[in-house]
Amino acid sequence: MTMLDPNRSNRSTTGLRPGLLAELDASTIDVANASTLPPELYTSPDVLEFERDALYAKEWLCVGRAEKIPDVGDWFTVTICDEPIIVTRDKAGDVRAMSAVCQHRAMQVCDGSGNSTTFKCPYHHWNYALDGRLLGAPAMERTEDFDKADFGLPQFQVELWQGFVFVNMDPDATPLAPTLTDYDPFIANYDLADAVCPGTFTLENMPWNWKVMFENFNDGYHANRLHEYVQDFCPSNLTNFPTEWSDDAGVIFREGGYTMMDGGFNATHQAIMPVFPKLTDAERSRSTFALVPPTLCLGTAPDQAFFFLVRPTGPETIDVEIGYIFHPSALEDPLFEHKLKLTDVGVQVFVEQDSDATAKVQRGLRSRFAPRGRYSWQEESHVRFNRWLVQRYRSGQPS
Ligand code: FES
């Protein structure tokens, strides 16, 4: 079966410009002394090209919920940094992921979602099995030295965590789950693997860099400032970083304490859906906000988890797929659809305020006056994110 060489690239990248790595040291020291990342990291096409190899070809990429493909033959596609990926449930019932790029002349063999027994490329009808093997290729009998076994769809590693599907293009990548153990105790009582996600919606080509999105998601400093009134129950000064940072960590997370129990991110400040039944009082009095870079932002509230799947479409643009996860009992409520609308309206307020801020941040980052700013203690998560990032930039920088 064809496995992808993570160092294979059809674009030439020269790495980060000389001297830039050294400049990043100022962003990885303790938060009281650290400076923000250089603005060019958020605007430069060269940096995204570098990240394509240094991050996206090597890290675990979250592509969605496993429940999206419950039956054999179910599939969906997703494109991350110009790599179209098929995620499918194979005949054995296992989740698989592979490149969607036809190994004949590179057409995308399928797009969207569906259920099928094979993937037939529309262009010349090369036909692939659910496990990516090339089953048939018409009129190739006169082609010398052509072995179908050499032209399967490149296979990716797959790992499930909390009901999310992660894929990794690097066949040598080490497992994801051991890098997330610091966060596991904070979400264990949600049983997210058995919870339900009723669907997602996608904001396309939003005008900011993927790192601006990650920072905004995990930024307790703006909580009841940008979101004054709507987030007053979860204020910035109750931001907490309950664990020490470890360089082995694949997750950056914080707690956002509430001023009351069972708060909710909507105009009532109350949870709308059933509260997850195993939560302790302490867990019912806080949210968690977590990053599993470079694709997943995951948060929890007493009655829901919420996630953003972040996919760069350019150095200054991203697609953001947003979903909620509820306890299964939520769907049994005859008023579920109404409550879902209320939930959605509540979240949209935050999305609109955040979108306005992040679009203006991105615009500011293009300015000749864009700063290397300083952090509040409430922004410790950004320094941890910087450490995650710079470590990988160093490993990915060509020598
Ligand atoms: Fe797919 Fe030709 S490009 S069959």
Give nearest CA residue, ligand 1 atom 2: 124
Which pLDDT value is given to residue 52? 96
With a Cβ cut-off of 6 Å, ligand 1 is lined by: 102, 104-105, 107, 121, 123-124, 126
What DSSP character marks residue 26?
G
Ligand 1 center to 48 CA (angstroms): 29
pTM: 0.95
Mutate which of 104, 127, 134, 153 for ligand 1? The one with the most ligand atoms within 8 Å of its CB, which is 104
Domain boundaries, the chain: 61-168, 178-396
Which pLDDT value is given to residue 229? 87
Q: Which atom of ligand 1 is nearest to the CA of 137?
A: 4
pLDDT along the chain (399 residues), means of 10: 54 83 97 98 97 97 98 98 97 97 98 98 98 98 98 98 98 98 98 97 97 96 90 92 94 96 92 97 97 98 97 98 97 96 92 96 98 96 98 94
Handedness of CA 340, 252, 158, 123 (dihedral sign): positive
Both tokens assigned to 74: 């179910």
Which pLDDT value is given to residue 1? 45
Q: Which residues of 268-305 are buried (b: 16+ CB within 10 A; e: fewer)?
A: ebebbbbbbeebeeebbbbbbbbbbbbbbbbbbbbbbb
Which pLDDT value is given to residue 9? 64
Asked if 238 and 205 count as a contact pair (C-beta separation under 8 A), the reply is no
Mutate which of 126, 143, 153 for ligand 1? The one with the most ligand atoms within 8 Å of its CB, which is 126
Please state which CATH number belongs to domain 61-168: 2.102.10.10
* pLDDT tens per residue, range 57-81: 999 999 999 999 999 999 999 999 9
- Alpha-carbon distance 31 to 376, whole Å? 7
Ligand 1 center to 84 CA (angstroms): 15
Ligand 1 center to 124 CA (angstroms): 5
Element of type H or E holding 11 = none
Give nearest CA residue, ligand 1 atom 3: 105
Q: Is it true that domain 178-396 has CATH number 1.10.10.410? A: no
Which pLDDT value is given to residue 256? 96
